Chains A and B, each alone.
Chain A
Amino acid sequence: MLTFIVRRLLWTVLVMFVITVVVFIIFFKTPGVDPARAIAGRNPNAQTLAEIRAQFGLDKPLPVQYALMMKSLFISRDLVSYSNQGLKVVPEIAHATPATLSLVFGAALLWVVMAIAVGIAAALLRGTIFDPLLMVVALVGVSAPVFWVGQIANMVSQGILHDTFLFSWVPPLGYTPFTQDPLLWFKGLVIPWITLSILYIGFYGRVLRANLLEVQNEDYVRTARAKGISERRVLLRHNLRTSMITFVSLFGLDFGALVAGGALLTEVVFGIHGVGYLAYQGFINLDLPTIMATVVYGAFFIVLANALVDIAYAWLDPRVRPT
């Protein structure tokens, strides 16, 4: 087990290294783009350009340039946003993280509970009209663009029906930190949580239903039936456990991706100033340092999350360890 963990972590470090190299190539070596001019944002003056050239050693050999980029990202963490009056970028990301975590945790809770309910209901109701009906609804959820669902939700809750009892409790768009006002934090996040989870409820519900039906003819399920356990109990206690394996591993990947900026569309639509929103603002202001930092930190988070999922997996299920 220890060798597995060590190997997995070494591999993680290697992937992180390659990621930084890819980022370096995108931001400093895109053919035909002057990196200093790109980093400096709109209408740079000659002094700023000279500063950037010196800071990133753009006249020095490639390995030095790479090392300087890494230094400003991870060691001195003094990467500066030129479009944003010299604001330091890395602390900005740390500052934006709680909003993203609030959004993703709530949505994840909602989608896990709802997806399990949908998957089990569809499997239990197989052969009735409700199973295909549930699956069609789930597929609609998978096919709707999340930012559009968010816009429609805003249209209804902030506009058309805002003055009725249904949505009069919805606060204006934006994020209130939990420490500042827990109730407002909750109220402001309810609709974003629902919006973000719709896609995943549909997708996970379909996956769970498929898995539940797939293991239906396994030997241990037949044994359970032969023991005289009721059909419902077989489904919940025997089928569901194995079916959850796929569910859990998918969940680890999606959750990691969302925390690392994947919830960007929801954050933009609802004005939640999280990590994805930060990257989007970086794009709007042509603020390359911000984008660079969010991409690197986001990718690192995903790689780490994946490694943790794998290790947890190996710990739970010895069969996967040798790989």
Chain B
Amino acid sequence: MATLLEQVEVDTELRPAVAGRNPWALAARRLWRNRIAMAALGVFLLIVVLCLAAPWYAHNVAHVNPFPPDLNGHTVVNGKVVPVMQQGGGTLHLGETPIGPTWDLSHYFLGADSTGRDVAALLLYGGRSSLLIGIGAAVLCSLAATVVALIAGFFGGTTDALASRLMDVIWAFPVYLLAISISTELLTHSSGFQFGPLHVSAASLWVPTIIIAFIYVPYVYRPIRGQVLSVVNKEFVEAAIAQGSGNLRLLFSEILPNVVSTVIVLLPLMIATTILTESALSFLSIGVQPPNVSWGTIIQDGTDLVYTRPWVTIAPGLMILFTVLSLNVFGDGVRDALDPRAKLRVEG
């Protein structure tokens, strides 16, 4: 107790001008002071930078192209040239086993997968897809949910009832089963699809991104709609109506700025959720399609090697774990900074 009081006194002495700052600056400063949250952000950014450096690592350090299978390749271990696919490895000493981790950054650091590809390089490339889909899906989903929530909350009545019931229906579907249904339909159509002027190939990263964004819209919609409802009848909105503002202006200049903080609080936690979902879908081979890789597809490839070359499974899982954990910790910090009383649901 004593330490807390001292802290407050020191704060007021040093910063008498705090009262005049805008809420965003205050929140940013609260977040900046939350060392655990900032450390988590640091971990997340480090992972992002590492994954962005994938082509650089593959070309300049590992000297491999990790995408085509490489069953006849050779590498150097302890100064000796050895084949990447080794005869008679594993417990049964039968068949070919890919080389295990060499712990040498320039020569198959984490070993090779079942087709002789460099796991370390794949891991970084896979991270690019996982992060891209995770962030893309979370942003798309939040945008869609915000638009629907703004319209539903603002117009109320039948519009609200219809939108909310529709969200209930989407949410009633078992997440993975819905994703399986949509993916099966889309993937049976291997030549791709035509949505008006847009052509999307079946192997495009957009397919899992849009599927994941779609299934989580109701989940983001609910808290945002609640926030819209809580501000829609406030005095400042009435004042704007009295000044003659049109609906668009009311929506975007008066209501939207007051729900943005809810969206921002949800965003890091949503990215954590979408990255987990992407890895699960890719593990089930309904997410990222070859030739693309993601952390989920690498774990799937590692299934057959789990007893002989465990690092093919362990490494991508650790990457997912660190990414999602850092986002969850950072997300908690953002929530505490912006909205100390909010209760949010994080789902796996």
Which residues from chain A sit less than 8 Å from chain B, CB to CB?
Answer: 15, 18-19, 22-23, 26-27, 30-33, 37-38, 139-140, 142-148, 151-152, 154-155, 158-160, 199, 203, 210, 250, 257, 260-262, 264-265, 268, 276, 279-280, 282-284, 286, 288, 291-292, 294-295, 298-299, 302-303, 306
Chain B's closest residue to A158 (CB) is B307
Q: List 17 A-B contacts (CB under 8 A).
A: A19-B172, A26-B181, A38-B185, A140-B321, A143-B321, A143-B328, A145-B279, A146-B348, A147-B279, A151-B313, A152-B317, A159-B310, A160-B310, A260-B174, A262-B174, A279-B177, A295-B173
Out of A22, A23, A143, name the residue touching B272 (CB < 8 Å).
A143
CB distance from A190 to the nearest CB of B (A): 19
Type the 1/0 row for B311-348, where 1 means its CB is closer than 8 Å to any CB of A: 00110110011001100110000000000000101111
B174 and A142 form a contact (CB under 8 A): no
Contacting residues, chain B, for A306 (C-beta < 8 A): 172
Interface pairs A-B: 7 shortest CB-CB:
A148-B317, A143-B324, A143-B325, A159-B307, A261-B174, A298-B174, A199-B348
A151 and B303 form a contact (CB under 8 A): yes
Report the Cα distance A264→B175, complex, angstroms: 10
Type the 1/0 row for B179-203, where 1 means its CB is closer than 8 Å to any CB of A: 0111111101100011100000000
CB distance from B175 to the nearest CB of A (A): 7
Chain A's closest residue to B180 (CB) is A283
Contacting residues, chain B, for A280 (C-beta < 8 A): 180, 284
Report the Cα distance A264→B172, complex, angstroms: 16
With A38-B185, A151-B302, A203-B346: A145-B172 Cβ-Cβ less than 8 Å: no
Q: Is the interface of A mostly helix, strand, loop or mixed?
A: helix
Is the C-beta of B58 less than 8 angstroms from some C-beta in chain A? Answer: no
Chain A's closest residue to B191 (CB) is A32
Out of A261, A284, A303, name the residue touching B172 (CB < 8 Å).
A303
With A22-B169, A32-B193, A159-B307: A145-B181 Cβ-Cβ less than 8 Å: no
Out of A32, A144, A160, A265, name the residue touching B283 (CB < 8 Å).
A265
CB distance from B284 to the nearest CB of A (A): 6
Q: Is the interface of B mostly helix, strand, loop or mixed?
A: helix
CB distance from A81 to the nearest CB of B (A): 13
Report the Cα distance A180→B289, complex, angstroms: 40
Contacts of B260-289 to chain A: CB distance below 8 A? 272, 276, 279-280, 283-286
Is the C-beta of B176 less than 8 angstroms from some C-beta in chain A? Answer: yes
Is the C-beta of B49 less than 8 angstroms from some C-beta in chain A? Answer: no
CB distance from A144 to the nearest CB of B (A): 5
Which residues from chain B sit less than 8 Å from chain A, CB to CB?
Answer: 165-166, 168-170, 172-178, 180-186, 188-189, 193-195, 272, 276, 279-280, 283-286, 296, 299, 302-303, 306-307, 310, 313-314, 316-317, 320-321, 324-325, 328-329, 343, 345-348
Contacting residues, chain A, for B178 (C-beta < 8 A): 295
Q: Choose among B169, B170, B172, B186 the residue with the greatest number of A CB atoms under 10 Å from its CB.
A: B172
A203 and B284 form a contact (CB under 8 A): no
B310 and A155 form a contact (CB under 8 A): yes
B313 and A302 form a contact (CB under 8 A): no
Known: A22-B169, A32-B189. 17 other contacts (CB 8 A): A19-B169, A32-B194, A37-B188, A38-B188, A140-B325, A143-B325, A159-B307, A203-B348, A257-B174, A261-B174, A261-B177, A283-B284, A284-B285, A299-B172, A299-B173, A299-B174, A302-B172
Report the Cα distance A31→B346, complex, angstroms: 34
